[in-house]
Amino acid sequence: MEMKNKESHSRAPIYEALVEYKKARVVPFDVPGHKQGRGNDMLREFLGEQCLSVDVNSMKPLDNLIHPVSVIREAEELAADAFGSKHAFLMVNGTSSAVQAMVMSVCKKGEKIIMPRNVHRSAINALIISGAIPVYINPGTNKQLGIPLGMSVEDVKRAIKENPDAKAIFVNNPTYYGICSNLKEITKLAHENGMYVLVDEAHGTHFYFGEDMPMSAVAAGADMAAVSMHKTGGSLTQSSFLLLNCDLQIGYVRQIINLTQTTSGSYLLMSSLDLARRDLVLHGKEIFKKVKEISEYARGEINKIGGYYAFSKELIDNDAVYDFDTTKLSVFTREIGLAGIEVYDLLRDEYGIQIELGDIANILAIISVGDRSLAIERLISSLSEIKRLHSTDKMGMFDHEYIDPEVILTPQEAFYSQKTSVPLNESNDKICAEFVMCYPPGIPILAPGEKITKEILDYISYAKEKGCFLTGTEDTKIENINIVEDK
């Protein structure tokens, strides 16, 4: 595919159309009702007149996200070119809706999809909506770090052999912690067996624009990819791209997207996608070179403190850890006797530093387009001080391995079944009818249709005790759980 020249990428069609709209001083008798901010002084003061004046509805000169024919269509074509895919859809319901659109574009009710169990909740939500059946692959765990790994090619081969009727293979690449699978080989295997490859690339925007990065989904030949432009690419929260890279009809995929995506696409989100794409095409190489340098520097300094382990490419085994994304600053904390979530809380409460996540054994700091060296120095010195002031004996730390789920019912059957709420400690051996997860990262500990075991309940109570933010259950206190009623 012939790459457009830099000159065409210096354009941002949606942004340009909004600038023209603002100049025209149009009198609004349409929605939104705040009428360019005049309806709410406090909101206008808080977000600024410039922002509210372009928080507008679809109209002819500004095109329409659900059926784009002009400026949004042009922005999509530029985005497709930037990512090297056949088409790119602007998404304003987050990458979650892009993940759901991918699954629903290739799987109907009762059809199988092969996926690792450490998927984001949005992928299992797609199964609840569509009725597709998951075939889980155990992603394996690094026992020392307690983190899920990528998908081993042998495990994928086995799953394909045992489920030749599966429609697709779903891969999250990279994982939250920066672990990459052998995407090219998995894609080759899937295509040889007539299956689509769908990639949750929420944390991989930079793979398309930086140099010496792990392979992107499009470069590997995957059929669709969901890319969180807002996570590491600089657009506004909730804005994302869905990349289409196969023979599925653009119009059909758009119909699937429109089943769940709003008909009132936010122009703030869309213009931010447009401008972020422009910036990354024009300056991505130098931006992500700097991101890598900052991250590598921090990794080295944190490892010098002692007690912490900021892991990197040394984990690569050319299989379940095929590659590693060095922009991810993941740090193992258990050697200083603290759970990741405890370090996360200390950083925020004592040092005014907000990192992305803390789990049972690790913390993760996201380094991206907006980071500066000075802030990194502050993170490093704070971690050093936490070790000095708070480190403790690591006895009694929970040694967590991947818990292989026993799937009794499909997520859809379980979620819509007759349910009973029971106290967690009385739920052993029952079938779960909802989610339980720590957020972030939003990977379910339990998903609808899975058997509840003592091992899972122990893990949940340890996560609660250490201060993980648990979500997913109807009971907001996570003391009770919905189970499938015995028939």
Percent of the chain with pLDDT over 90: 83
Average pLDDT on 109-127 reads 92
Supply the pLDDT for residue 463.
83
Average pLDDT on 68-76 reads 97
C-alpha span between 201 and 110 (Å, rounded)? 26
285-390 is classed in which CATH architecture?
A: Alpha-Beta Complex (3.90)
Q: What is the CATH number of domain 411-484?
A: 3.90.105.10
DSSP secondary structure code for residue 417 in this structure? S
Supply the pLDDT for residue 148.
87
125 contacts: CB under 8 Å, gap ≥ 6: 96, 100
- Other CB atoms within 10 A of residue 51 CB: 13
Domain boundaries for CATH 3.90.1150.10 within the chain: 285-390
Domain boundaries for CATH 3.90.105.10 within the chain: 411-484
Q: How far is CA 269 from CA 22, 241, 279, 426, 465, in A?
A: 17, 11, 15, 45, 38
* Token pair listed for 57: 């509805």
Banded pLDDT at 142 (limits 50, 70, 90)? confident
Residue 197's H or E segment, with its range, is strand 196-201
C-alpha span between 386 and 379 (Å, rounded)? 10
Q: Which residue has the tokens 């791209």?
A: 241
Banded pLDDT at 421 (limits 50, 70, 90)? very high
For residue 168, report the phi and psi dihedrals to the nearest 5 degrees.
Answer: -155, 160
DSSP secondary structure code for residue 407 in this structure? B
Most confident option among 5-19, 140-154, 302-316: 302-316
Supply the pLDDT for residue 398.
66
Supply the pLDDT for residue 1.
41
Residue 328, strand partner residues: 366
C-alpha span between 441 and 120 (Å, rounded)? 8
Q: Is the pLDDT of residue 415 over 60?
A: yes
CB neighbour class for 425 (10 Å; exposed up to 12, middle 13-18, buried from 19): exposed
On the question of a cis peptide bond just before residue 423, with omega within 30 degrees of 0, the verdict is no
Residue 97's H or E segment, with its range, is helix 94-106
Q: How many CA atoms lie within 13 A of 432 on its CB side?
A: 28
Banded pLDDT at 440 (limits 50, 70, 90)? confident
pTM of the model: 0.94
Q: What letters, b where the CB count within 10 A reaches 16 and e where it falls short, cover 81-118? A: bbbebbbbbbbbbbbbbbbbbbbbbbbeeeebbbbbbb
Q: How far is CA 334 from CA 82, 297, 363, 376, in A?
A: 41, 22, 10, 22
For residue 102, report the phi and psi dihedrals to the nearest 5 degrees.
Answer: -60, -50
Q: Which residue has the tokens 């913390």?
A: 363
Supply the pLDDT for residue 247.
95
